[in-house]
């Protein structure tokens, strides 16, 4: 089954063609970073307008790069939520119209489920059951995944997501938006032990997160010790990243041991973080757990993961209805 995937939950307009949930024939992502950079974050109204401009060219490019005809597409999978409502509506409305005009099945997909499926688009996918850490700008969750369409939420952030904390710390340091990659690169040059920021474990035996406290601690440190030079900024970045990574790695390893899973996945935009990838792989080796982290281009928002997740629902006979609508908040 050749599935056209469409993703527009935030500030990337994406389309992809994926066969049978694993074979990426094409994947196109139009980024809006340049549009939102001057504002230090995503402006929802601007994001919606950019999606409207980009959706048709992006879909056409995905079809062209896959070297297929429109008639070869068997179904459509599209992000239904969570996300920015205005952004979601652009992709969702397009998918409805496309499927209706072609008279082919279509399915609305949970964006977070899509991220989990990004690991199945790699050469070494995990075996069921496994635990997954989904860490991005909007979400920090741990799941126990038992099948292609079933994942139990084990824990989530109670306030800021880890990626959101990265962006806010980058803004405090005057590094611009988006902050994740900038902090990651800068942290490699700093001394993580020069500053000790708190590790917000909450309860080490459970899986919820809280990153607002560490964000406040960084802000307080900068107020008392202004990070005006490159070396000082690098030390703050390194210490901040070390604190966040310690918590993320502890929680996901603990979840894997608790659930007796021999496979562990890390997905979402922050999964591209070099410090996190290294720490996860090291701890997994210590605990004899197989680690699975998608290729960098599959960590951020993309439509291939949406097509992959949608394929399994379509295969089980599920279909969306023209009366269906998008949703902004998380559904599990």
Tell me the pLDDT tens digit for each residue of 254-272: 999 999 999 999 999 999 9
Sign of CA dihedral 44, 46, 52, 57: negative
Residues 283-330: tens digit of each pLDDT? 999 999 999 999 999 999 999 999 999 999 999 999 999 999 999 986
Peptide bond connecting 97 to the previous residue in cis, omega within 30 degrees of 0: no
pLDDT of 331 above 80: no
Q: Are residues 98 and 179 in the same domain?
A: no
Q: Which residue did the predictor score with more confidence, 40 or 253?
A: 253
Specify if 268 maps to a domain. Answer: yes
Quote the pLDDT of residue 314: 98
Q: Residue 332 — very low, low, confident or very high, per pLDDT cuts 50/70/90? A: very low
pLDDT, average across residues 136-144: 94
Q: How far is it, in rounded angstroms, from Cα 10 to Cα 302?
A: 11
Q: Which residue has the higher pLDDT, 331 or 225?
A: 225
Which of 294, 171, 289, 161 shows the shortest CA–CA distance to 236? 171
Which residues are CB-contacts of 198 (< 8 A; sequence separation ≥ 6)? Answer: 213, 214, 217, 243
Same domain for 229 and 180: yes
Same domain, yes or no, for 141 and 270? yes
pLDDT, tens digit (0-9, with 9 covering 90-100), for 170-210 = 999 999 888 889 999 999 999 999 999 999 887 888 999 99
In a domain, 323, yes or no: no
Number of domains making up the chain: 2
Token pair for 276: 């996190």
> Would you state the pLDDT for residue 249?
97
Does residue 326 form part of some domain?
no
* Residue 328 placed within a domain: no
75 to 6, 80, 100, 181, 320: CA distances (angstroms): 11, 15, 11, 35, 11
* Beta bridge partners of residue 30, listed in sequence order: 13
Exposed (0-12), middle (13-18) or buried (19+): which is 282, by Cβ within 10 Å? exposed
Report the SS3 class of residue 15.
strand
Same domain as 311, residue 177: no
Residues 179 and 87 in one domain: no
Which residues form the domain of 259? 124-293
Distance CA 267, CA 151 (A): 14
Rounded to 10 degrees, the C-alpha dihedral 41/46/50/51 comes to 90
CATH code: domain of residue 218 = 3.30.420.40
Residue 102 in any domain: the answer is yes
Rounded distance, CA 319 to CA 107, Å?
5
* Packed helices 85-102 and 44-65: angle between N→C axes, nearest 10 degrees: 30
Examine the domain organization and report whether 235 and 268 are in the same domain: yes
Q: Is residue 202 part of a domain?
A: yes
Residues 85 and 209 placed together within one structural domain of the fold? no
171 vs 323: CA distance, rounded Å:
41
Give the residue-averaged pLDDT of 226-252: 94
Do 133 and 242 sit in the same domain of this protein? yes
Residue 132 lies in a domain: yes
Q: What tokens does 17 get?
A: 């063609």
User: pLDDT at residue 30 above 70?
Assistant: yes
Verify that 135 and 80 share a domain, yes or no. no
The backbone region for 317, taken as left when phi is positive above 0, alpha when psi lies in -120 to 50, beta otherwise, is left
């Amino acid at each position: 089954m050749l599935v056209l995937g469409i993703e527009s939950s935030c500030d990337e307009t994406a389309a992809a063609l994926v066969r049978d949930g694993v074979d990426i024939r094409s994947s196109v992502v139009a980024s809006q970073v340049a549009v939102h950079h001057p504002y230090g974050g995503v402006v929802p109204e601007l994001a919606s307008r950019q999606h409207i401009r980009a959706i048709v060219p992006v879909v056409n490019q995905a079809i062209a790069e896959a070297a297929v005809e429109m008639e070869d597409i068997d179904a459509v999978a599209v992000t239904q939520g969570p996300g920015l409502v205005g952004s979601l509506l652009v992709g969702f409305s397009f998918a409805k119209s496309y499927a209706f005009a072609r008279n082919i099945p279509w399915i609305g997909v949970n964006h977070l489920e899509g991220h989990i499926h990004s690991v199945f688009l790699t050469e070494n996918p995990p075996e069921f059951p496994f635990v997954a850490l989904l860490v991005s700008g909007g979400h920090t969750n741990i799941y126990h995944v038992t099948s292609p369409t079933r994942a139990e939420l084990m824990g989530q952030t109670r306030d800021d997501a880890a990626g959101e904390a990265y962006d806010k710390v980058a803004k405090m340091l005057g590094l611009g938006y988006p902050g994740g990659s900038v902090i990651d690169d800068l942290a490699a040059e700093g001394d993580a032990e020069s500053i000790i920021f708190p590790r917000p474990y909450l309860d080490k035996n459970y899986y919820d997160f809280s990153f607002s406290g560490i964000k406040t601690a960084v802000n307080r440190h900068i107020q008392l010790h202004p990070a005006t030079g490159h070396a000082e900024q690098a030390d703050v970045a390194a210490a901040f990243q070390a604190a966040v990574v310690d918590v993320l790695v502890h929680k996901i390893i603990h979840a894997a041991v608790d659930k007796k899973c021999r496979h562990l996945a890390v997905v979402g935009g922050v999964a591209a973080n070099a410090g996190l990838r290294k720490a996860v792989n090291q701890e997994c080796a210590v605990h004899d757990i197989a680690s699975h982290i998608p290729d960098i281009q599959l960590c951020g928002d993309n439509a291939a993961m949406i097509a992959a997740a949608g394929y399994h629902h379509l295969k089980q006979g599920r279909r969306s209805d023209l009366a269906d609508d998008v949703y902004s908040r998380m559904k599990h």
